[in-house]
Amino acid sequence: MLKYHEKGLENEKTYPPQYKTEKPFPSVPEAVKKAAAMYKKPGESEDVGASRAWVSGQLYYYATYGQGKFDPNKISEGYLVIREDGSVPPFSEAKKPLRMINSTDGMFREILLGGAALCQPTNV
Flag whether pLDDT at 95 surpasses 70: yes
**DSSP secondary structure of 11-32:** SEEEES--PPP--SSPPPPHHH
Q: Which of 9, 89, 2, 101 is nearest to 48 (CA)?
A: 101
Return the ∠ at Cα 104 (arms to 102 and 108), rounded to 5°.
115
**pLDDT value of position 34:** 95
pLDDT in tens, 56-79: 889 999 888 887 776 666 666 788
d(CA 48, CA 39): 12
Q: Which of 70, 22, 26 is nearest to 45 (CA)?
A: 70
Stated as kind and residue range, the H or E segment containing 26 is none
Stated as kind and residue range, the H or E segment containing 56 is none
